[in-house]
Amino acid sequence: MEEEYRYWLNLSSTTNRSVSVILSALSDLVKSYNDIASAALKDVPEILENVDVQLSKLWKDRALIKAAFTEDRARRIFALFDEQCVSVLQSSAEKDKIWTADSSEAEEFLTDCLAICNKWSDVCRALTEELWPEDERNRWTSGLVKAESTEKLRQRLDQIRTIKATVEEVADLLGSTLDKPHPSEVFMKIDNLNVGKGGDEVWTAAFRNFDQKMSRYDDVIAERLKKKFYNPTADSRQVC
């Protein structure tokens, strides 16, 4: 983000264009960008609210120097914040904490992460799909800016939540904790929030390993469910 600011700072010193309004808006965005890196996760959505306002001001001021500040440059700023959100979440996640921490602590972490992903996606959609395309004086014409990195991370977080819920449900059905090595241990050795190409491949391999380990409980679960719901005195097709 600082690089983007320096670009406009250099432009202001080498051309006659009046870019002071852009520099002012970018200065606020640089601060928010850096604040995201240092804030507690639960506070990041509020910072993104400020980014929403700052981007709106930037786009409004852009009308003064439309030729210089293109939609491609605006998209670059969206991409920088998208990457910053993901970077902060990745650096906040310890490899095994999601799986070994107290369940309420792990759930709080996942909830905070999802709130950030959802908030940034909402900002992108509200500005580039709803508000700016309707601005007759300064219309946005290049379509929705997709929060690609945070969306990939949101999907990964949803998968983690589903896996954790599945493990808990199976343990409840068995009436005990799962055998060691615990099936979810395969995820403790990898970077769970790496959503790059290499990270996707590692995650897929870990999930297949997990699925294979969980399959050992299929017959036991089926038998427990049969005993729990089957009424031997009733019709064989009837459950209690």
Residue pLDDT tens, the chain, 240 long? 888 888 888 877 766 556 777 888 899 999 999 999 999 999 999 999 999 999 999 998 887 776 678 899 999 999 999 999 999 999 988 766 788 766 788 889 999 999 999 999 999 999 999 999 999 888 999 999 999 999 999 999 999 999 988 888 888 888 777 777 788 889 988 999 999 889 999 999 999 999 998 888 887 777 766 766 655 554 444 433
- Residue 186 structural domain: 1-229
Residue 112 placed within a domain:
yes
Supply the pLDDT for residue 238: 42
Residue 216 located in a structural domain: yes
Q: Please indicate, yes or no, if residue 189 is contained in any of the structural domains.
A: yes
Distance, in Å, from the CA atom of 45 to the CA atom of 112, rounded to the nearest integer, reads 9
Number of structural domains, the chain?
1
Please name the amino acid found at residue 172: D
pTM of the model: 0.85
Give the torsion sign (CA, 192, 31, 136, 71).
negative
Is 236 contained in some domain?
no
Is 235 among the domain residues? no
| Residue 42 domain-assigned (yes or no) | yes
User: For residue 236, what pLDDT is reported?
Assistant: 41
Predicted pLDDT of residue 229:
65
Residue 66 confidence (pLDDT): 67
How crowded is the C-beta side of 89, counted as CA atoms within 13 Å?
33
Torsion sign over Cα 94, 100, 102, 106: positive
Place of tokens 């981007």: 55
Question: Is 204 contained in some domain?
Answer: yes
Which of 175, 171, 203, 201 has its CA nearest to residue 189?
Answer: 203
Q: Is the residue at 234 inside a domain?
A: no
**Helix axes of 103-125 and 148-174: crossing angle, nearest 10 degrees:** 150
The residues, any chain, with a CB within 8 Å of residue 142's CB and separated by 6 or more, are 71, 72, 75, 128
Cα→Cα distances 92→38, 41, 97, 192, Å: 11, 8, 10, 11
Instruction: Please report the pLDDT score of residue 117 as a whole number.
Output: 97
Write down the pLDDT at residue 239. 38
DSSP state of 136: S
- DSSP symbols for 148-188: HHHHHHHHHHHHHHHHHHHHHHHHHHHTSPPPSSPGGGGGT
pLDDT at 240: 38
Q: Are 149 and 157 in contact (CB under 8 A)?
A: no
Task: Please tell me the distance from the alpha carbon of residue 222 to that of residue 173, in angstroms, as a whole number.
Answer: 10
